[in-house]
Amino acid sequence: MAKLDQVADAQREDMSQCTADLIAAYERGVADLRTAVVGMTAEELRCRPIAGRWSTLEVVCHISDCEQFFADRMKRTLAMERPLLIGAEGRRYPEPLHYHQRDLAEEIELVALTRRQMARILRLVPADAWDRTAVHTETGLVTLRQLLHHAVNHLAHHIRFLDEKRVALGRTENVHQPPLGIGVQVRPVVLTDQPEWVRMRSALWPSDGANEHAEEVVAFFASHSFRWSQSFLAWQILVAERPSGGLCGFVEASIRPHVDGCVSHPVGYVEGWYVDPDMRRQGIGRKLLEATERWAVLQGCKEMASDADLENTVSHAAHKALGFDESERLVHFRKWLKDSSQVKSSCTLALPRLKLLGVAGSFAVCKLPTGSPFPSWAMMGDLYSITRTADELSVVCLQEIVPEGIACERGWRCLRVEGSMPFTMVGVIASLTNPIAKAGLGVFAVSTFDTDYLLIKAIDMPTAVSALRSAGHFVDVEEVMP
C-alpha cells in the first residue's frame, strides 16, 4: 500500500461494525489466510508469477511480521498514555529476514497464536478504552479501535494478492470467496468522496442533473446541511467503500421533527439510499441502513422512516425486507428502533465533519474588573470578542494591543469554522472540542451568530490539528502554523 493509503486506512472508521464484530473479523482472518495457501507446493510458494511482486511465501512472512507490530501497538496503547508508535518499512524485510528460508506452517501458526491471544485481551477491554490514543510516526493520532480496524484490513488486503498469485499459477480451486458484504466498509462521507457521491446521486436522482447534485454536495460540505432542509435537526451521510477502491453505495439520513405516519418524534428519515447495480444483493444496503439506525437511536429517535415512489416496487421490497412497515401511501415507511440502552457502547454518535481555517495573529484572553467600560483598545483587528457578566468583563483580542497591567493570558492561536452554521445543526462544538480534549489539550471557544472560533495555545496547535484531522475535519493551517 502507498503511504497515503496507509494513512487513510489507519484513520478510517467502519461505521457498520461494532467492537464485538470487529474482534470476530480479526479472529476470522486466520482461517482466510490458511485457505489462501492450502495445497500449494514449496516451489509454488516461492514462485513470483506476477512480475515485480512478492512470492506467496514472502507475503505470508510479511503478514506474520506485521501481526507482531499490530499486537504490540494495541498493547502499548492500552497500557501507556499516548505512546509513540514507530512505523515499520516492511519492504526492507524480505532479504535481511530470509523470507524464502522460513517455514509456511510456522508463520501461519504465529499469526494464529498472536490473534488468539490479542482477541482474548480485546474482549476484556472496557468500552471507554477503545478511545485510548497513540501517536503513530506516519499516520498521527490513532485510537485503539482504529489500530484493530487497520489490522483486520491489512490481512484482507494481502489475501487478495495471494489470490492473484494463485490464479496466475493456475491454482483456482481455493481462491478466497468472501461472504457477501465482507470487505465493504461503511463510514461517514469525507471531502475527497465528492466526485463519487455526485456520481451515485446522479444515478439515484437522474432528473436533477449532475451539476445540481454537485452544487448540493458542495453546499453540504460547507454547512453540513442542504439548502432545502434547514428545518431538519441533523444530517448523516454514510458511504460504502468497494474493496478494490472507490465507493459503491451511500445513504443520506436526517432527523426530522415530525413525519406523517409515525407516532413518535423526532424521527430518523432515510432521504436517499443507493447501491451500485454490480454490488447489489451482497448485504451492502443492509449495512448502510443498520449503521444509520444506530446513529438515529443515539440522536433520541424511536422510529425510522423513509419513502419511495409508488411505482418503485424494488425499493418497496427492499424496505420491507429490512423490517419497515408501510405506513401510508405516498409511499412512506417506518421502522421501530431498539431502545438506546440496547445499542452497543462502541457505536458512538456520528458528529459533523467540518472545514476549519486559520485566523491570522496571536491572541490574548483578558479579564477586566466588574463594571469596567468596554475597552476601546480591544476593538482592533478582524476578530475581537467582548463579553460582560455579573462577575467580569472578558475580552479576546490581538495580544500585541493589550496594555501593560491588564490581567490576561497570551499565546493563543485561532481556528474558524468555515461557512454559516444553522442553529438546528447538532454537535458542532462537541465534534471540535471532544478530539482536542482527548488529546489532553485545553481550548477556548467563541461562538457567533454564523459560526464558531477555537482558541488554542500556539504550542499545542500541531497536536490539536492532528487530533482534529484524525476526527475527520479538514484543517487549513497556513495562518496558525507558519
- pLDDT 10s per residue in the chain (482 long)? 344 344 444 445 555 567 888 898 899 889 889 888 888 899 999 999 888 889 999 999 999 999 999 999 999 999 999 999 888 888 889 999 999 999 999 999 999 999 999 999 999 999 889 889 988 887 778 889 889 988 988 898 888 888 888 888 887 665 554 444 455 788 888 888 899 999 999 999 998 888 999 998 988 888 777 766 555 667 889 999 887 778 999 999 988 887 877 888 788 999 999 999 988 888 888 889 988 988 888 778 889 998 877 777 777 777 787 788 776 655 667 787 776 555 544 444 445 667 888 888 899 999 999 889 999 999 888 899 999 998 889 999 999 999 999 999 999 999 998 877 777 667 788 889 988 998 899 999 999 988 899 999 988 998 998 888 877 777 877 666 65
Other CB atoms within 10 Å distance of the CB of residue 307: 18
Q: Which residues contact 372 (CB under 8 A, 6 or more apart)?
A: 393
Hunting for cell 474493496 — which residue is that?
243
Handedness of CA 88, 89, 95, 96 (dihedral sign): negative
Predicted pLDDT at 466: 86
> Quick one: pLDDT at residue 260?
78
pTM of the model: 0.44
Domain 355-476 CATH superfamily: VC0802-like (3.30.2130.10)
Phi/psi at 459 (5° precision) = -65, -25
Residues forming beta bridges with residue 238, ordered by sequence position: 188, 251
Question: What does the DSSP assignment read for 393-430?
Answer: EEEEEEGGGPPTT-EEEEEEEEEEE-S---TT--SHHH
CA geometry: angle 373, 376, 381, nearest 5 deg: 135
Chain centroid to Cα 97, Å, comes to: 35
CA distance 370 to 51: 77
Question: How do the domains of the chain map onto residue ranges?
Answer: 3-168, 185-342, 355-476
Span 185-342: which CATH code?
3.40.630.30
Question: Could you tell me which CATH number the domain at 3-168 has?
Answer: 1.20.120.450
| Same topology between domain 3-168 and domain 185-342 | no
**How many C-beta atoms surround the C-beta of residue 218 within 10 A?**
13
For position 346, what pLDDT does the model report? 43
Cβ(300)–Cβ(264) under 8 Å? no
Q: What is residue 392's three-state secondary structure?
A: coil
